[in-house]
Amino acid sequence: MNRRRALQLLAALGTTGLAAGCGSDTEGTSTPGSPIKIGLIVPGSGPNKAIGDEIVNGFQLFLSLNDQELGGHPVTVVQAEEGENAKSGQAAVDRLLKEGVIALTGVASSAVMSGIRDAVEQARVPLVGSNASPASLQSVVYVWRTSYVLDEPGEALGRHLRESLDKSSRIAVFAPSNSSSKDVIDGFRRGYYEVGRRPIDGEILTPDKAELGKTVFSGAIHKALKNNKWPDAILCHYAGTQAVQFIKQLYAEGYRGPIYAPGFLTEGAVLSQLDDGERGEQRALIVKHGIETVLNYSADLNNTANRVFASAYRKAHNTSPTTYAMASYDAAQVLDKAIRLAGRDLTPQQVNLALGKIGQIDSPRGPWQFNQPRTPQQKWYLRKVQLDGRMLSNVVITELATLG
């Protein structure tokens, strides 16, 4: 057992008996490399702040388990405000490049990711993005992602429903009016359609940044009724506060069928905000009628890497990790491997070349590796909201597909 694995297990499991074996490891006595800077682009405010916090937490957790080093080099993380558009993202990139960072990471918004693509490519500094990646982001050299492409959760969900729903089933689709929703819905159509199957009714689009309230989704929900009859199933693409409001209003309007979605619908604090207690009507509806989601990660996955990661994350933050934290943890792991491969005299270009050579990642989501478009080839899991003790929780039901 090397020093790094021992430290991870110590942090995650509270074990002391392993410490004696750490001091003789050659890695622990090697001379550290020169200090380096990593630029972390995240939103510190606005609708994506919760995702930004998870991205920061995941990256910092990897560093805390690895002596605040990447690839044997002491690391300073320089954080920059992402904002909500290409202009604010560009300002973050410009600031971090002036700081002399060896690589960039983070980025919560797919709009920001698309907007800074050209600046990153021209600067020839690798960006290891750790959240949404639009399907239109192709033919890049310096942009890598440890998360997913936005059409993939839709495709995995479409394949699942093609096998589990009758061909005559009527599905209503709800989503915000933005490019991310387009990617998700396009992926769903690709995975779901087959000859003889009833097509989905079409998208019922809602404002991207709606002023949330008790009835903001009511008009859209009424559009799903045909001859005063509810659809057989609802597919939706929401996250955070919008997810909470949509589910609450859907039940309030009288829907009593299954809800399907990419896993962002129930990530983070959403389930705790939906949980109205053991005798609550909303909680009972969720358990009875079902919310199933598809995602590349769940905190209950049973593998060694996830036991280390999830346990350490809960110890540090008193809550379970999300896919956003996991992908950022993996971004740090990817950079650690690439920087070590690049050698002592580092340049951003050497790190970028090394990123293509790191091979398989032992991730909390399960093993994965980069494909040619520089995104993960990875497993997707079906999760169902169930009671875990007295709390609503995302529970993995089965593995659905490997995409990427």
18 occurs within a structural domain: no
Pair 195, 290 in one domain: yes
Pair 209, 90 in one domain: no
- The pLDDT of residue 120 is above 60: yes
Pair 116, 186 in one domain: no
6 occurs within a structural domain: no
pLDDT tens-digit series, residues 53-72: 999 999 999 999 999 999 99
* Contact present, 130 and 106 (Cβ < 8 Å): yes
279 occurs within a structural domain: yes
Pair 251, 397 in one domain: yes
- The pLDDT of residue 196 is above 50: yes
In the sheet where 73-81 sits, what is the strand order?
69-70, 73-81, 36-42, 103-106, 127-129, 143-145
Residue with the bigger pLDDT between 199 and 362: it is 362
pLDDT tens-digit series, residues 363-379: 999 999 999 999 999 99
Q: At 336, which amino acid appears?
A: D
What gap in Å lies between CA 255 and CA 155, rounded to an integer? 25
Pair 117, 44 in one domain: yes
Of 44-48, 286-290, 383-387, the one with minimum mean pLDDT is 44-48
Pair 233, 216 in one domain: yes
Q: What is the pLDDT of residue 195?
A: 81
Q: Which tokens go with 59?
A: 């990256």
Q: What is the pLDDT of residue 247?
A: 96
pLDDT tens-digit series, residues 149-168: 999 999 999 999 999 999 99
Nearest by Cα to 144 from 335, 321, 322: 335
Per the structure, the count of domains in the chain is 2
> The whole model's pTM is what?
0.89
What gap in Å lies between CA 86 and CA 127, rounded to an integer? 15
3-state secondary structure at position 36: strand
- The pLDDT of residue 24 is above 70: no
Pair 135, 163 in one domain: no
Output the DSSP codes for 226-295. Answer: BTTB--SEEEE---HHHHHHHHHHHHHTT--S-EEEEGGGG-TTHHHHH---TT-HHHHHHHHH-EEEEE
pLDDT tens-digit series, residues 310-322: 999 999 999 999 9
What gap in Å lies between CA 154 and CA 263, rounded to an integer? 10
Name the pairing type of β-strands 376-388 and 291-295: antiparallel
Domain boundaries, position 206:
151-295+382-403
Q: Tell me, what CATH number does 344's domain have?
A: 3.40.50.2300
pLDDT tens-digit series, residues 97-114: 999 999 999 999 999 999
